[in-house]
Amino acid sequence: MPSIKAALSKPFAKLVAKRINKWASQPVETQDKVFQNLIKEAKNTVFGKDHKFDTIQSYEDFKKSVPIRDYESLRPYVERVVKGEENILWKGKPIYFAKTSGTTSGSKYIPITKESMPTHVEAARNAILLYINETGNSKFVDGKMIFLQGSPILEEKNGIKIGRLSGIVAHYVPKYLQKNRMPTLVTNCIEDWETKVNAIVDETLGEDMTVISGIPSWVQMYFEKLIERKGQKVGEIFKNFNLFIFGGVNYEPYRAKFENLIGRKVDSIELYPASEGFFAFQDKQDEKGMLLQLNSGIFYEFIEAEHFFEENPERITIKDVKLGVNYVMIISTTAGLWAYNIGDTVEFTSLKPYRVIVSGRIKHFISAFGEHVIGKEVEQALKEAIANTEITVNEFTVAPQINPPEGLPYHEWFIEFETEPKNELKLIQDLESSLQKQNSYYFDLIEGKVLRPLVITKVKKDGFQNYMKSIGKLGGQNKIPRLSNDRKIADAIYKLQLTK
């Protein structure tokens, strides 16, 4: 018999689904309301006065008044907020700063306000409720749930609490889930990731785990330690585990490995959270893409990625986006981020309703020869190449080799295999075929003998974990870039392979 909690979740899920459908079916009107509210609420802030918010009547006015910014451009305003000044980017002061380690900016302090914080929590909750409404499966709410996340310990500076986003969100787990939630607070506060995972294994063995959530690469580490300890597949250890919730990276490169570790298929829900906002979540099990959150205090703009670095690229709203185009996503939010470039690129998979996939990072690409290969393309190539084979991959990244000791330059694929290919040449051919099909520039360079076909470099077991550990980014929300336009990661992995 299902518990009262499981039974009550179904009518609540139906109600929430109805509310979401209402705004999703009126996307342009919903975004216009968000836009008007943002301008109205922030017109008396320092940023609002600097950019003449009191004269902004339309989106066209906004584009003229507010240029696109990244964190570095916004930093002078953020630093004033960090010092404790009020009414700078948004009314009052933020209640948190989500501290992230920027690749070029050092530490970033992303404001979270009393208006923006609830949207982070509600989106995660709504993703689960829509799953219940669609599948009718609510039994998992009676079991134990684990969320692999950063430490919930927060610092404080000038009256504002500071921590990692996942650690901040940990303070907002609803009361009705508190008894089900794992790990314990003591374990969750462990900073060293390897120590923390071992403690989580100790705590969860013997529990009825039904939901497991986290970035796939770090959940994989947890699964491997469980199997090492028990000598059984994860699905045998946790017989009622039937829902995996993930975000941060594309799951497809991990799917075959996960199904092998678990020993069976489980349902999954993809989320698109970031310190700057909770942008989308998977709303249907059989649809590609995640439902863009148009009613969460975030106003979205888009710029075609291939024109992004031009002097005045065209900025558009959801009204004018097209399917299958690679866009840089620009946001303005109730946390006081204005025409802000978060660095992600997305593609729309549906316009009724608006669904997106994350296609990569605008700074993470390979274009050493003008090919502009993006993350989505290398992930898709690997997915196609290993489909229906014995090959399983733990992790991978791609870098250009511009000055090889001999022969033409090439793209070098660093792959940590769990199960190696029996025929490596065929794997290379399949990867090449998919990449050339997806990217005409890459095809032309291969055809024109500017590049030679890709080269695979095998990475030793735990090689990527050792690399992340060496740069102090093991665990939490950290992840390996799928590709880069230089050889910093490639050279570091080479060096570690030789010394370990």
Task: Write phi, then psi, for 445 (nearest 5 degrees).
Answer: -70, -35
Most confident of 81-85, 167-171, 172-176: 81-85
Q: Is residue 474 part of a domain?
A: yes
Q: Is residue 475 part of a domain?
A: yes
CA distances from 495 to 463, 491, 498 (A): 11, 6, 5
Domain hosting residue 397, numbered range: 365-499
Distance CA 264, CA 221 (A): 18
CA distances from 455 to 173, 341, 427 (A): 46, 33, 10
One-letter amino acid at 258 equals F
pLDDT of 101: 61
CA distances from 444 to 378, 379, 437 (A): 17, 20, 11
Q: Tens of pLDDT along 283-308?
A: 999 999 999 999 999 999 999 988 88
Q: Is residue 316 part of a domain?
A: no
* Residue 148, both tokens: 């692999």
* Residue 52, both tokens: 């003449």
Distance CA 125, CA 173 (A): 10
Compute the Cα dihedral for 349, 398, 147, 153 and give only its sign.
Answer: negative
Task: Write phi, then psi, for 487 (nearest 5 degrees).
Answer: -115, 20
- pLDDT beyond 90 at 92: yes
DSSP state string for 415-463: EEEEE--S-HHHHHHHHHHHHHHH-HHHHHHHHTTSS---EEEEPPTTH
* Residue 273, both tokens: 């959270």
Compute the Cα dihedral for 241, 253, 329, 105 and give only its sign.
Answer: positive
Minimal CA–CA distance to 404: which of 455, 459, 475, 470? 455
- pLDDT beyond 90 at 241: yes
pLDDT of 477: 64
Q: Is residue 6 part of a domain?
A: no
Q: How many CB atoms lie within 10 A of CB 347?
A: 21
Distance CA 297, CA 120 (A): 11
Q: Tens of pLDDT along 316-340?
A: 999 999 998 999 999 999 999 999 9
Which has the minimum average pLDDT: 116-120, 211-215, 411-415?
211-215
Q: 25: exposed, middle or buried (C-beta count within 10 Å: 0-12, 13-18, 19+)?
A: exposed
Confidence of residue 25 (pLDDT cuts 50, 70, 90): very high
Distance CA 165, CA 162 (A): 9
Residue percentage of the chain with pLDDT more than 70 = 96
pLDDT of 104: 44
CA distances from 186 to 26, 181, 193, 275, 408 (A): 45, 13, 14, 24, 54
Q: Is residue 284 part of a domain?
A: no
Q: Is residue 264 part of a domain?
A: no
Confidence of residue 420 (pLDDT cuts 50, 70, 90): very high
Residue whose structure tokens are 């870098």: 399
Q: Tens of pLDDT along 209-227?
A: 999 998 887 788 899 999 9
Minimal CA–CA distance to 465: which of 398, 416, 408, 400? 416
Residue 332 pairs in a beta bridge with 299
The mean per-residue pLDDT over the stretch 6-23 comes to 92
Distance CA 294, CA 333 (A): 11
Distance of CA 28 to the CA centre of its chain: 25
Q: Is residue 254 part of a domain?
A: no
pLDDT of 3: 75
Q: Tens of pLDDT along 42-71?
A: 999 999 999 999 999 999 999 999 999 999
- Domain count across the chain: 1
Distance CA 117, CA 123 (A): 11
One-letter amino acid at 410 equals Y
pLDDT of 417: 94
Q: What does pLDDT average to over the chain?
A: 90
Distance CA 443, CA 437 (A): 7
pTM here? 0.81
